[in-house]
Structure 1
Amino acid sequence: MAKINFTAGRVADFQCEAGKSQSFLWDSNASGLGLRATANGSKSFIFQAKLDGQAIRITIGSPKAWSIEAAQAEARRLQVMIDLGNDPRQVKADAIAEKKAEIEAKEAERIAAESQQLRESVTLRDVWDEYVKERSPLWSQHHINAHRKIIQAGGEKRARSQSLTSAGPLSVLADLRLVELTSERVEEWARVESIARPSSGRLAIRMLKACLNWCSDHKIYKTIVSTNAAKSSKVRESLGKPKVKYDLLQREQLNAWFDAVRKIKNPVISSYLQCLLITGARREEMAALKWADVDFQWHSLKLKDKIEDFRMVPLTPYVAHLLSMLPRRNEWVFSSPTAANGRIAEPRYAHNEANATAGLPHLTLHGLRRSFATLSEWTETPAGIAAQIQGHAPQGVREQNYIRRPLDLLRMWHIKIESWMLEQAGVEFAPINQHLRMVK
């Protein structure tokens, strides 16, 4: 292995020999120092020596970054390590590990100091706001609003009522320091909520449990939340289990319901309520329907879905008629010129009044979805088809992995359901020359 005195010119002129992947030039002034040139034109200073009878090679760096003198000094330093019986590679790895451990120790000290400071100051409301902000990109607007409402302080003006907003179930815990949020404190809260509003309490405890789970994975809050106070069995016992809800329309009630709902003066609300019943959709799925999601040519609706991103459902003739009669004020099908976001906000009041006028029992908007599922059985519609129209998750191996129903098949049964409902309601309806009419 011939050696030469490294000079700037020799280093600059050295190239990889033709036909080889790499070539080496060795320095005569520093033992083990070499210059490697590769076929792709790159160059680097290297150090080569033997340790315990085994050859080792270490890259020092590019001639662009290392001067000849600096590379020679580095080669001599590495040779000294070898002469002392140390592996330079291991020495470097140990130094990196030590530096990393030092940085991690300082970070741990910083987090511990911040944690101690937060223990004395951070409240549930502080954590809640951060939690909602981080999770919001993964949530629907309805879910975000629910989280804000459940902890709101109340006492603010409403947009559509003279009464002030009510305090959320978690508002009494909101200003507690996180370290004070013990199982005993949550159990005390649950006993009070179980009397005042158990349904809201159950929703609140589910949200609180999820928030505290998020805290347990947070780099700082996990040092404060050692246990999830919302997981107490006594809390579950106090709030109880939700009661099975039975509010729905019976077959014999359809006539009165349709008659009252169709007389609602606001045509947007009237159409919205009828569409909820006939499609079995969730209230927010229908409220968020845009004109771009309605295909009158191919008779389909694109609804947002809580299981998937969206689902396609048939646009049945009567629903198409209702939608075609609505004003196109903006992008929303069920628009509202007074709502902040431009779409229908609270149709419950009009629906409750219509029910009362018809002499019907109390019926929630979700009860209309329950009504669709129940009434569809009168038409002997297969349960899987009704469930798919409603956006229920497929049940069973066969539904999940093998059945892929085309929209035309759903439409055949959906039209049958719609026609049966209108017949029971005494609503005569038939499309004529592609134009739809309704006779009552």
Structure 2
Amino acid sequence: MPRDKLTAGRIRDFTCPTDKAQVFLWDTEAPGLAVRATPGSTTRDDSKGKAYIFQSKLHDKDLRVTIGDVRVWPLDDVVDKQTRAVTQRGARTEARRLQTLIDQRIDPRELVREREAARKAAKEAEQAEKEAKRAAAEAAKAEADKQARYTLRALCDAYVARLEKTGKAKSAASTRSAFKCHVFPHAEIADTPARAVTSHQIAALVRKVREAGKERAAGVLRSYLSAAFNTAKRAPFDSALPADLIPFGIEHNPVDVIPAIAVQRGERTLSAGELRAYIGHLLRIGHETGPELADVALLLALYAGGQRMAQLLRAKVSDFDQDTATLRLWDGKGKRTQPREHLLPLAPQAAAMVSALVKRAKTQEQARAKEAGRAPDMAGLWLFSTHGRVAMNPETVSNRAAEVCASMRGEPFTLRDIRRTVETMLAGLGISKDTRAQLLSHGISGVQAAHYDRHAYTDEKRAALVAWEARLEAIRQAERTPSNVVRLGQRAA
């Protein structure tokens, strides 16, 4: 094992024979330091393939550590001439440091492995931190997007869409109008994430409507908002509710703590004289043209026992059975998932009105078909339709009722008051409460009605409508009670 003081010249001239894998030139200044040459350095002035190494014994075993390429490491420390500070550590200094570790029974290779492991761990930690920050940023963005998307405004729209999907078009229109008038204008609340909306914010919306003198509108708004929140709250657990309500994340209903606003009951009923004047306006007495379509709808609703206008206007030609003079309506009010069939065995005058409407609808369709050069299509014809394409809008009829009310120049009334008048007068005729409920299609619910009572009440309803038409005729003739009307439950004299 040749030893000599290493110098730049000796290192430069040191080469590895071609028949050797490697050779070493050992330093006498720093024990354990050597230059190792491999066959890559076969010519003089070639430092390629030469590296400083350190070799010693630890625990009676040879230990060799590569310090580094001789082209990178200087042999001795590089010292700044002005500051006398070491700017680059030399191979001899490194060899002495390694020998110091050996003297302390420390394996420098373990230190290197530990340092490498620490460096790797630090790098992995840095990478993990970057990933965590990226994931947090993505989560924050997703949450921001969610908050921007699942707002109170969006919840209101989703609830209205559900009402429309379940066939509750009238309720959907009323609910949409309430939200549009009383929620959406307040963007600071409407654009708040629905799950973050507070009871205080809801109370502020309701209070504003109430303070404007709209007591009923305030109560309705509270009811609609409560229904929207409750629906979204149940959505994750009720498979019958749409899944698009689940992402709103509603866990509590902020409307619950807000007291319900009692709706004032209507008390208005029309007197016999007012009802006579109302019928007179609808019949266009003294006019050759006769009643308009909206007037016919108002008359039929009255003569058929005070039916709801929205349900009556949805009737089609196919809903009338000429043989039994029975008109079929569909009642979708309340929490029903499917509209309930509501059959009306009409008395003669109401049946004649519907027959005329059926004839009118068929005649119009035949004319349209002839003009278009096609066969008439009698399926799906509306009883009440101006042009045959869509059913008459309930608003059109309501507006006409308001015109009649104004022209009578008396105490104002609405279609709801007409309906109340009919039931009140039916009660005066001795019609039982159960029959009136069936005839006017009130909220028929409960275990008995839903599961056990399958009686159609056809005879009772027909008798009630016959008695009602007789009462209306007596009113028209300014008679108090017609001589041929017998109170139900009493015998004729």
- If the TM-score is normalised by the length of the shorter chain, which range does it land in? 0.5 to 0.7
* TM-score, normalisation: structure 1: 0.60
- The alpha-carbon deviation at position 209 of structure 1 amounts to 0.9
Q: Spell out, residue by residue over 1:34-77, the C-alpha distance to the aligned partner (whole angstroms, 9 max, x if none).
A: xxxxxxxxxxxxxxxxxxxxxxxxxxxxxxxxxxxxxxxxxxxx
Superposed displacement of residue 375, structure 1: 0.9
More contact order relative to length (CA 8 Å, sep ≥ 6):
1
Deviation at 1:402, TM superposition (A): 5.0
% identity of equivalent residues = 20
Aligned to 1:341: 390
Residue equivalent to 2:343: 312
- Please tell me whether residue 127 in structure 1 is matched to residue 155 in structure 2: yes
Q: Distance in 2 between matches of 1:397 and 1:120?
A: 44
Indicate which of 229, 232, 244 corresponds to 1:215.
232
* More deviation, 172-181/218-227: 218-227
Distance 1:418 1:396, change over 3 A: farther
**CA root-mean-square deviation:** 3.2
Note if 1:410 corresponds to 2:461. yes
CA distance in 2, matches of 1:111, 1:373: 60
CA distance in structure 1 between the partners assigned to 2:230 and 2:447 by the alignment: 32
**Counterparts in 2 of 1:169 and 1:118: CA distance versus 1, 3 Å:** closer
Alpha-carbon distance in 2 for matches of 1:313, 1:183: 45
Does the 8 Å contact 1:280/1:368 carry over to 2?
Answer: yes
- Equivalent-residue separation in structure 1 for 2:295 and 2:306 (angstroms): 16
Specify whether residues 113 and 322 from structure 1 end up closer, same or farther in structure 2 by C-alpha distance, changes over 3 A only.
same
Residue type at the aligned position of 1:262:
L
Residue segments in structure 1 that go unaligned for 5+ positions in a row: 1-109, 153-166, 430-440
- TM-score for the superposition, normalised by structure 2: 0.54
Alignment of 1:258-337 (within 5 A): 258-263=279-284, 267-278=292-303, 279-305=305-331, 306=333, 309-326=340-357, 327-328=360-361, 329=364, 331-337=381-387
* Number of the residue aligned with 2:166: 138
Matched letter for residue 270 of structure 1 = D
Is residue 247 of structure 1 aligned with residue 296 of structure 2?
A: no
2:201 is the counterpart of 1:185 = yes
Q: Matched residues in 2 for 1:403 and 1:370: separation? A: 26
Classify 1:387/1:341 alpha carbon distance in 2 versus 1 (closer, same or farther; 3 Å): same
Question: Over residues 196-250 of structure 1, what are the superposed CA-to-partner deviations in whole Å (9 max), with x where a residue is unaligned?
Answer: 22222222221111111222234585774343111223x53xxx31111112222
Alpha-carbon contact 2:316-2:383 (below 8 Å) kept: yes
In 2 relative to 1, CA 324–367 (structure 1 residues): closer, same or farther, beyond 3 Å? same
| Structure-to-structure mapping, 1:5-404, within 5 angstroms | 114=142, 117-119=145-147, 121-152=149-180, 167-168=181-182, 171-172=185-186, 173-196=189-212, 197-218=214-235, 224-233=249-258, 236=260, 240-263=261-284, 267-278=292-303, 279-305=305-331, 306=333, 309-326=340-357, 327-328=360-361, 329=364, 331-337=381-387, 341-346=390-395, 347-394=397-444, 401=452, 404=455
Q: What amino acid maps onto 1:275 in structure 2?
A: L
Offset of residue 185 of structure 1: 0.9
Contact kept? 1:289, 1:303, Cα under 8 Å: yes
User: How many angstroms apart in 2 are the aligned matches of 1:209 and 1:125?
Assistant: 14
Q: How far apart in 2 are the matches of 1:228 and 1:262?
A: 51
Moved over 6 A (4+): 110-113, 395-400
Q: Does the 8 Å CA contact 1:169/1:201 hold for their aligned counterparts?
A: no
Contact 2:150/2:247, CA 8 A, preserved across alignment: no
Residues in 1 aligned to 2:205 and 2:161: alpha-carbon distance in whole angstroms: 25
The answer to whether the 8 A contact 2:233-2:251 is kept is yes
**Separation (CA, whole Å) in 2 of partners of 1:116 and 1:293:** 52
Q: Distance in 2 between matches of 1:396 and 1:375?
A: 26
Helix, strand or coil for the counterpart of 1:302? strand
- Given that 2:195 and 2:251 are in contact with CA atoms closer than 8 Å, whether structure 1 keeps it comes out as no
Q: Taking structure 1 as reference, are residues 169 and 416 closer, same or farther at Cα in structure 2, changes over 3 Å only?
A: farther
The alpha-carbon deviation at position 149 of structure 1 amounts to 2.1
